[in-house]
Each structure stands twice: as structure tokens, then as C-alpha cells.
Structure 1
Amino acid sequence: MPRPVHYNAADHISAETAADPYQRPAFSLQQRLRRLLWNICWALFYRTSPRPLHGWRSFLLRLFGATMGPACHFYPKSKVWAPWNLVCADQVTSADGAEIYNPAPVSFGSHAILSQDAYVCGATHDYDDPAFPLLAYAMTFGAYSWVCARASVGPGVSMGDGAVLGLGSVATRNLEAWTIYAGVPAVKLKERQRPADRGSNIL
């Protein structure tokens, strides 16, 4: 079943905006200016902030439209492409080098984690269209999901509660809740033990 496209540049940007339709911009001028302002803010105030100041970085993300729950830990070298398309519940972590490319909305449940250099790719291109328009997809990461270091999640892929994507793996399909995946492309390895099964009351 095809994943629903949240944003198709071909529906918003006329091919006539460039002599070669392949070179047309993916977003409007207003959207590009908004991105420019955020990039300046990220370079001057976010990236340079002391490591313990997670509240400050959450404030900057909120300033640009993000929804940030309490006690989120976004580290100085983490990247968010579009804060206005980011929704985080409480205690979401994005480690140094982790990158969220989110031209469409991306949401993270409570205690979701992106480890070092993890990559969330929220868009691709329509390679069957000669104009090669950008296609962006909404994505959801469930509570207690974990994208391990240097792992990548492809466009439109979502992770269920407690799902784990192993070190350096690439997810091309949705990951089931409380299941561990690894490999390129990622395949199911085994089920993850739920906290309740270990006598914990966190879930």
C-alpha cells in the first residue's frame, strides 16, 4: 500500500519557475526565507550553546514552531530541518550528530531516542517525473522507540512504541511495536521485552 504523500512540490511550485523544470525550487520563497532564519539561529545560538542547556535549545525550537514536551534533550550538534514540523512528547532525546530532515510533520512519543548520527529522512523525489519533484511524508516515532547510532529511517517510515532500529541499519518499512530490527535493509530480529513484563510500571 503506497504511503500517503504529505507534500508534493509539483502541486505547489510551477514548473515554469525555472527554465529547466528539474531545477525548480522545492519550496516557496517564504518557506525558504523561514529556513534561512532558522539556519542562522541554529548556527549562532543553538549549535554554540553549552551541552547541558537542553531547555535553551528546546526554547529555540519552540520559537520556530516546534512542539516540545518537558525534559527533552536535544544536544548542540543535533539538527532539525524544520522546527515547525516537529512534535515531541516528554523526554525525547536527539543526540549529537542526529538529524531530522522533516519537510513534513514528524512526531516523537515519550522517551523516544535518536542516538549519535541517526538520520530521519522525511522526503524523497519522484524519479518517474522528469521534473523530479520533492515528495515529503509525515512520520511517527512511538513512545520508547530507539534509533541507534548511525541508523537511518527512510521517507514515510514510522516506528511503533518501543521499536528498536540497530546500529547502522536502514529502515525502509514501518517497524512494529516492541520489536528489534537490524540490517540493510532492516529485518526483524526478535521481540523486545516490554517494561511491564519486567515488573516496571513505566508503561
Structure 2
Amino acid sequence: MVNTDTHTGASFSLKNRLLRVVWGVVYFVFFRFSPRPLHAWRSFLLRCFGAKVGKGVHVYPGVIIWAPWNLILHDHCGIASGVNLYSQGLITVGKKAVISQGSYICTGTHDYTKHGFPLYTMPITIGDNAWVAADAFIHPGVTIHEGCVIGARSVVTKDMPAWSVCAGFPCKVLKDRVLVD
């Protein structure tokens, strides 16, 4: 961050803010209103702005992305319309992971114990084969481990273990996730 006092100035550099303006124009003109099936087109646009995007990624046009250069989207993951990727810090989404509509993935927060409420960011990782169901909120610094399912409308404030089903406010483990064929 370039400023530790959010009352007196911006937390991010001028370069960062200008790049976000350019991204905002590209997002509005070319990304947001692109036809739903054009996942490859949206992946291309994200790559143009520094995102690392794997093969077969499905990012829908209604996804809100703060800074694409802070995204790593692994092969065959899906991000539904209405998801907010508030990527002030790094967001990593694993292979075949799904983030459902209305979820909010938030990497930034403020330190309320200090004058000026300085902004700080912590990365979020969503593991391979994980599913974040509709309207979940993922706090900064959280890891959703491989195969974990986060229930709809959950508020995740700490790491969730692999191959578990978790839900609630605050989110907690409910049971193991067992796959059946």
C-alpha cells in the first residue's frame, strides 16, 4: 500500500488506479456484455490484464473483478454471474473448482486498531474440486482446501479442511464430503 491513512489519500499507487480505470472500461465494453458462451473471449481479456487463466475456464459475463492481475484461475474452474472477486490481493481458484452466483471473495480489509484504518490484503485460495455455493462470503486470508464444499450464504472466516461439507455464520465443518459414483 502507498498510504497507511485512508482518510488522507489512496491506498494504492497511481499506476494501480489508472490500470483499474482502463480495466473498468474494457470490462464494461467488452467483458460485461459479451454473450454467455464466450468464455474463451473473457479468458483472453483477463490474460491481457495479467490474470493467469488455465484451459477450459468458465468465467461468466456478470462476474465483477476488481484487479484481474491478482487472479490465478486453474483449468476447468467456473465462476458464476454475480460473483464478486474483490482481488485487491491474490485470489487463486483451483482446478475444477466452482464459485456460485452471488458469492463475494474479499482479499482486502482495514486495520481498525490503528489510526487511519490502513488497508491490508491477504490472499484467498480455493482448492481443486472445491465448491463455494451461492451468496457465500470468503474473508481475507482464507484457504478453502481441496474438495471442500461451502454451503450457501455461509460466512467463512477461517480455513476450511479438505473433503468436508461446511456451512453457517460463522462457517464450520458439518461432515465429511464423500463422493459416490
- TM above 0.5, yes or no, is yes
Distance 1:178 1:40, change over 3 A: same
Corresponding letter in the other structure for 1:170: V
Q: CA deviation at 1:79?
A: 1.4
Q: Distance in 1 between matches of 2:97 and 2:68?
A: 17
Counterparts of residues 180-199 of structure 1 (less than 5 Å)? 180-194=165-179, 198=180
Runs of 4+ in 1 over 2 A off after TM superposition: 12-15
Aligned to 2:10: 25
Identity %: 41
- Tell me the alpha carbon deviations over residues 29-88 of structure 1, each in whole angstroms, 9 at most, x when there is no partner: 110001111111110000010010000000000000000000100001011111101011
Q: Is structure 2 residue 96 aligned with structure 1 residue 135?
A: no
Q: CA deviation at 1:22?
A: 2.0
Distance 1:38 1:177, change over 3 A: same
Is the strand fraction higher in 1 or 2? Answer: 2
For the residue of structure 1 that corresponds to 2:173, the secondary structure is strand
Q: CA deviation at 1:14?
A: 6.1
TM-score (norm 2): 0.96
Q: Is structure 2 residue 107 aligned with structure 1 residue 122?
A: yes
TM-score (norm 1): 0.86
Aligned to 1:4: none
RMSD: 1.2
Aligned to 1:36: 21
Aligned to 2:53: 68
Q: Distance in 2 between matches of 1:77 and 1:178?
A: 29
Greater Cα radius of gyration, structure 1 or 2 = 1
| Aligned positions, number | 181
User: Of 1, 4, 13, which aligns to 2:3?
Assistant: 13
Unaligned runs of 5+ in 1: 1-8, 16-20
